Structure 1
Amino acid sequence: MNKQFIAKRLIKLRGPRSREEVAEALGISVSALQMYENSQRVPRDDIKIKIARYYKRDVQQIFYQ
């Protein structure tokens, strides 16, 4: 799993939305979302599912090349 790939994908999906808006919708902290987008951490599986549902994508589309 490539952290840089995931980070770029998450930033692209977020688009013009603020980190605060997305983090609140996902039920995670802004700092956690920031770490995912800065390639510092990969989300746990349950968070991957929340992210995929939020962006209306499959987990595989977002997190796997």
Structure 2
Amino acid sequence: MRKWLIDHRGKQSQETIAKKVCISRGAYANIELGKRNPSVQVAKRIADELGFDWTIFFENECVDTKRRSNTA
């Protein structure tokens, strides 16, 4: 979940933001949930609408996981 995106949306509905950036509410919801990444164009439109740097969508894409070593 992208809590930071929900925080930026504030009291506006997902539907309102989706309409403003020309995507479906479902697509926007999936972006908020982290189930979908926006295209660069959509990321820029969302960022412009909500007032943040669009590149944040593409930072920390990889989740760091530590490999457990098998010690015997």
Query: TM-score by structure 1 length?
Result: 0.78
Q: How many residues align?
A: 59
Q: Which runs of 5+ in 2 are unaligned?
A: 61-72
Unaligned runs of 5+ in 1: none
Q: CA RMSD in A?
A: 1.4
State the structure with more CA Rg: 2
TM-score by length of 2: 0.71
Identity %: 32
Q: Which has the higher helix share?
A: 1
Taking CA–CA contacts closer than 8 Å with sequence separation of 6 or more, which of the two structures ends up with the larger relative contact order?
A: 1
Stretches of 4+ aligned residues off by more than 6 angstroms: none
